[in-house]
Structure 1
Amino acid sequence: MPFKTAIRWVHGFVTLVLLVLVAGCWFMHPGVASDAEDELQHTYQLNNQLWLYMTENRRGDATVPIIYRYYLGQEIKGSEREIVKHLNADMLFLAGTGTISAIHADNENRVEVTYSGEVFSLSRKVYYQDADQTMTAHINYQIR
Structure 2
Amino acid sequence: MKISILVFFSCFITILTNAQPFTLNKNIKPVELKLVPYKAKDSIWNGKINITTVAQKEDTLYYFVKGLSIYQPIYISIASQNPKHKYEIKLCKDNWKSADRTAKLDAKGNWGMQFKTEGSFGLMVVCKEPLTNYKLLVWVGKELKNIGIPSPFTKK
Question: Do the two structures share a fold, i.e. TM-score over 0.5?
Answer: no
Higher helix share: 1
Q: Bigger radius of gyration, 1 or 2?
A: 1
Give TM-score scaled by structure 1 length.
Answer: 0.29
Q: Which has the higher contact order (CA 8 A, sep 6+)?
A: 2
Give TM-score scaled by structure 2 length.
Answer: 0.28
